[in-house]
Structure 1
Amino acid sequence: MDSGQYPVRVDAVLDPGPSRWLWLVKWLLVLPHVFLLAFLWAAYLVLSVVALVAIVITGRYPRGIFEFNVGVMRWSWRVSYYAYSALGTDRYPPFSLWERADYPAHLHVEYPARLSRGLALVKWWLLAIPHYLVLAIFTGSAWTVAANGDADGAQTAGGVGLLGFLVFVAAVVLLFTGRYPSGVFDLVIGLNRWMLRVGAYTGLMTDEYPPFRLDQGGTDPGTRSMHPSSSGETVGVADAQPTSPGTASSPPTPDPSPRWGVGRIIGIVVGSLLALGAIGALVSAAVLAAADEDLRDDGYFTTPRVEVQSPGYAIVSEKAELDDSDGLIDVLRDLLGELKVEATASPGDSVFVGIARTSDVRAYLDQVAHSVVTDVADDDSSVKTRFVEGGAPRMAPGEAGFWVASSEGGGTQSITGAPSEGDWTLVVMKADASSPVVTRVALGATAPVVDDLAGILLLSGLVSGLLAAAILAASLVRRHRHDDVPAAERDPAAGP
């Protein structure tokens, strides 16, 4: 390849008499395109990952994926040219992935015969970093500056970017004069051309590093022309007679492969969304499986220990009211399984932890000084409480006979049980009923739903992945019709 030629061609033709006012509402007019492109770019992302794997294994970019991904870029370029990346035309963009000779914005990428397996792993993130820095200037960026090294004094500022500024200048001039400045147009197209070249490179469509060169003007001066060979693959030859700035040469001849109909596009989008869902389900299943393996403590998922203290004689929870009229208890048992409460005594003390019906607890603590837990503190290391004035209890908690579950002693004490119908209150005290009370409390649950959910996600991810693969394969495989086959390759018995 001669120096200065690049296998990505970007051309554009400036409308001779653009509307002064239409650009003010183009943000509204392009919404249908933005909506559809959101789905198409999701498919582009999925198919780019598939292409990456294929390139690493075979050294080739799958042709069907290549056509689709270039089509998505082409569609986006037409919308950008119509809207606020150029404002170069008032002709509404077609809803098509295919090259349209009658539209004033064109994008064509030469299909690579072979690609480097190694470069595919690094060029889209590592090798493209210098271009990313340049594109940040083109498109604008945001940054944070900390005042006096204090994070509380941080200020955020955003940049418009060179491209946005130039398009704004063009819009203002267009509004007042009815003309698009030709010099600004040439520069705007040059910036867009640079971005699209980088996009094709990072999209793994070529191994040729994008030039650090601003090729301005409507006609791409630094790219070879694209012409299809008899085999159907596109080859390049250098431009012999570049046209004047602000105009474009004839658009590249489209590859004679079957066009992308609505059915194929929908199939690829649906398949890609299923693939994304499958990936999400499989990742979630893996996270749940890892949590089930690593985060359980003696079979329980346990919260961090939270410090709880009271100047009185007891610390109690607010009433937990469980009504089984709608099957709530069964749901809680399926979700949470068996519950556990742990309370850790201060050194040298004995702690009591118990749960009982709220009416019994209220009778026991009537006229007793205690604290009611109302919320967890913002730092999650302690709790917020409401203090109730009173005196000392009539008896030690262990002497009362109304506890449904209780435990007392030094170190860490725990009680377990399943959710049951009724009104329940948890109580933590010193075993000798003295004050103040200082302890650390943790809650746990066996949560059998985690195992079930991991299995469901794994199964759904596998099924969705297989379905996505089938849909994508059916949509991407090129269906060669009789008239797509070169005459020299046809079966003579089949006739002309």
Structure 2
Amino acid sequence: MTAVLAAGTVPAYPVHLTAEPRPDRPSRGLWLIKWLLIVPHAIVLAVLWAAFLVLTVVAFFAILFTGRYPRAVFDFNVGVLRWSWRVAYYAYGALGTDRYPPFTLHDVPDYPAHLEVDRPGQLSRGLVLVKWWLLAIPHYLVVAVLTTNGIRWVGDARVDGLAWETAEGARWVWEGGGLIALLAVVAGFFLLFTGRYPQGLYDLLLGLNRWVLRVAGYAALMTDTYPPFRLDQGGGSDPQDTLAPYAPAGTSLHAGSPLLQDDAPQAPSTTGRSSWTTGRVVSVVAGALALLLGLGLVVGGAGVSALRQDGWVTSPTLRVQTDGYAVATEPLELRGLGLDEGLGQLRVRAQDTDGGEVFVGVARADDAAAYLAGVQHTVQTGPLTADVREVEGLAPRTDPYGHDVWVASAEGPDRQSVELPATPGSWVVVVMPADGTAGLEARIDVAATMPWARPLGGALLTLGVLLLLGGGAAVALAVRAAEADTRA
């Protein structure tokens, strides 16, 4: 069978999303609980998308060095996109059918939603470096509008948009965006109250999903053809690009070519016996999860090992200031859980930013409260400069140094440091001008030796490397076996 491509037309986009021309007469109320019914698919897709991410990285390097997208990897990733589209079509991507999606990567001919991607030949080695992040940015902005949505709890904060308060005064907010899900809900209400799904809304939802999945195929390196900024609505075959003066008339095409021959729906392409058996899919998913976990452990282990500087794990420097006579921290509780042994030695350092003499002391919370009673000071309530609480009062009755409330203290010019063993209890750090005057601006930091940090970092690194090796082997063996089957 052959067909002729009309003058002024160009190939359809290589990512072909199709569905029934009309919605499959969904029920009035089933859409209200589809969020629950798709939970099993959501769990499976979560791990499949982890494998999709890992295999896309594999494809990236394969294209970079060979210009080819490995066939077995391509088939797997297309299967994940296909599975995702079926679930979206059933649920809140279109609400197009009440037929439960099958659990398979492969095309199901009698299911009302399909997705195929033309297998690429030679791909650009240079384009692969930029198309998935730089070139796709304009499309990512569009996709964000189409897909980003959700309900978020924001407490008592002032918000814009649709919001409603709970009995406790908290707010649940529908965040902006998510046009696809929002329109699907609108379709759901049409079904609920009229039993009818507006055809125009159905066509629009299919067009929006087609846009998103075209971008997904491009970002996953499956094609070098840039996704069109065009909304091709409706089910059936993808509409053709038009008004291209360079497409010759009379071009003869075989059925199944990526060029569309006519407006009739095209049957999903078939690739024969599947190379992705259940065992291989499980192996790839397990390997991908191991790779991602291993990468996280390696990064975490390296980070924990790098925290130690001169034997100390030091916090970021915090700039504190007060118009009163002291800055005090909220009580720090060290009780149980082996905190005293885990932290090892503690160190507090403070320095007046104006070069004046500064006093820094550590006291038990009750003793510090007694000393600061009636004293104008600032309480640092959090890790940010703005996290403060002002306490009204007068000047302290006695100078801080030499007072017996301090477990450890130091005073003088430049940076002052006090060290003490981590001991169970409730502790407060106090920083003051050494001369007892009002007004202070200082930089402080806290550190601990954390003797377990280096062994923990080494253990995380070792476990991470083992997971990387094991996961890489599992993915490589499964892909190799699937690739061998595709060539058989």
Query: CA 1:280–1:179 in 2, change beyond 3 Å: closer, same or farther?
Result: same
Deviation of residue 418 (structure 1)?
Answer: 2.5
Give the 5 Å matches for 1:51-130. 51-130=59-138
Q: 1:414 aligns with which of 400, 411, 417?
A: 417
CA distance in 2, matches of 1:95, 1:71: 11
Structure 1 unaligned spans of 5+: 143-151, 225-233, 487-496
Q: Percent identity over the alignment?
A: 42
> What is aligned with 2:320?
306
Query: CA 1:299–1:328 in 2, change beyond 3 Å: closer, same or farther?
Result: closer
Query: CA 1:83–1:429 in 2, change beyond 3 Å: closer, same or farther?
Result: closer
Query: CA 1:81–1:386 in 2, change beyond 3 Å: closer, same or farther?
Result: closer
Deviation of residue 307 (structure 1)?
Answer: 3.3
Deviation of residue 426 (structure 1)?
Answer: 6.0
Query: CA 1:255–1:155 in 2, change beyond 3 Å: closer, same or farther?
Result: same
1:101-137: CA deviation from partner (whole Å, max 9, x where unpaired): 1212111112212211111122223333444455566
For the pair 1:252 / 2:260, whether they are aligned, the reply is no
For the pair 1:273 / 2:276, whether they are aligned, the reply is no
The range that moved more, 416-425 or 57-66, is 416-425
Q: What is the alpha-carbon root mean square deviation over aligned residues? A: 4.6
> What is aligned with 2:470?
467
Larger RCO, structures 1/2 (Cα 8 Å, 6+ apart): 2
Residue type at the aligned position of 2:480 = V
Q: 1:7 aligns with which of 14, 21, 28?
A: 14
Give the 5 Å matches for 1:350-369. 351-353=358-360
Deviation of residue 40 (structure 1)?
Answer: 1.8
Query: CA 1:427–1:120 in 2, change beyond 3 Å: closer, same or farther?
Result: closer
Deviation of residue 210 (structure 1)?
Answer: 2.9
> What is aligned with 1:210?
227
CA distance in 1, matches of 2:328, 2:179: 63
Deviation of residue 19 (structure 1)?
Answer: 3.2
Query: CA 1:445–1:160 in 2, change beyond 3 Å: closer, same or farther?
Result: closer
CA distance in 2, matches of 1:160, 1:352: 53
Query: CA 1:51–1:303 in 2, change beyond 3 Å: closer, same or farther?
Result: same
Deviation of residue 392 (structure 1)?
Answer: 4.3
Query: CA 1:436–1:267 in 2, change beyond 3 Å: closer, same or farther?
Result: same
Query: CA 1:442–1:100 in 2, change beyond 3 Å: closer, same or farther?
Result: same
Deviation of residue 81 (structure 1)?
Answer: 1.7
CA distance in 1, matches of 2:404, 2:191: 88
1:55-114: CA deviation from partner (whole Å, max 9, x where unpaired): 112211122221111111101111122223233322211011111112121111122122
Give the greater-gyration-radius structure (CA). Answer: 1
Residues 75 and 96, structure 1, Cα contact 8 Å, conserved in 2: yes
| Partner SS state of residue 252, structure 1 | coil
Give me the TM-score of the superposition, normalised by structure 1.
0.71
Residues 308 and 382, structure 1, Cα contact 8 Å, conserved in 2: no
Query: CA 1:198–1:176 in 2, change beyond 3 Å: closer, same or farther?
Result: same
Structure 2 unaligned spans of 5+: 151-156, 163-174, 242-254
Query: CA 1:214–1:403 in 2, change beyond 3 Å: closer, same or farther?
Result: closer
Residue type at the aligned position of 1:236 = S
1:378-412: CA deviation from partner (whole Å, max 9, x where unpaired): 8526864657889844x9944x7897654444444
Give me the TM-score of the superposition, normalised by structure 2.
0.72
> What is aligned with 1:220?
237
Residues 274 and 467, structure 1, Cα contact 8 Å, conserved in 2: yes
Query: CA 1:259–1:428 in 2, change beyond 3 Å: closer, same or farther?
Result: closer
Residue type at the aligned position of 2:93 = S
> What is aligned with 1:494?
none
1:328-387: CA deviation from partner (whole Å, max 9, x where unpaired): 532231xxx34234354976x755555578899899x69x97568754378526864657
CA distance in 2, matches of 1:346, 1:210: 58
Q: 1:380 aligns with which of 369, 382, 385?
A: 385
Q: Would you say how many aligned residue pairs link Structure 1 and Structure 2? A: 448
CA distance in 1, matches of 2:447, 2:305: 16
Residue type at the aligned position of 2:417 = S
Give the 5 Å matches for 1:466-485. 466-479=469-482
| Partner SS state of residue 465, structure 1 | helix
> What is aligned with 2:252?
none
> What is aligned with 1:456?
459
Deviation of residue 5 (structure 1)?
Answer: 3.2
